[in-house]
Amino acid sequence: MEFSYKIYNESEELLLAIADSAILGKTFEEGDLILTVSEFYQGDKCDKSKAISLIKDATIINAVGKDIIDLLKQEDIIDKNFILKINGIPHAQVILVK
């Protein structure tokens, strides 16, 4: 399980863009919805333990891919009802109040 991530600092917010590495550069379409796993997510690589650390530091998370979404669910960061699937690929945006 490998993830690609990029961190964006916006004022007091720390936005974590994280995706399953295997889907970087791919585009998924379903009806009018289009999801491109773009350079927005492309940066450093990490494993599961580093991803958990990054998630705990973030105030905003933009995540795409089955593995990272499963990890967010395991860590009780997101509920399955708030996950959007586009052509079977899960995507979620999370705002954490700290």
Residue with token string 């499963």: 70
Note the pLDDT tens digit of each residue in 3-59: 999 999 988 899 999 999 999 999 999 999 999 999 999 999 999 999 999 999 999
Identify the pLDDT of residue 52: 97
pLDDT band at 64; cut points 50, 70, 90: very high
Domains of the chain in start order, with CATH, are: 3-95 (3.30.1860.10)
pLDDT confidence of residue 91: 97
Beta bridge partners of 8: 15
Residue 98 pLDDT greater than 90, yes or no: no
The answer to whether the pTM exceeds 0.85 is yes
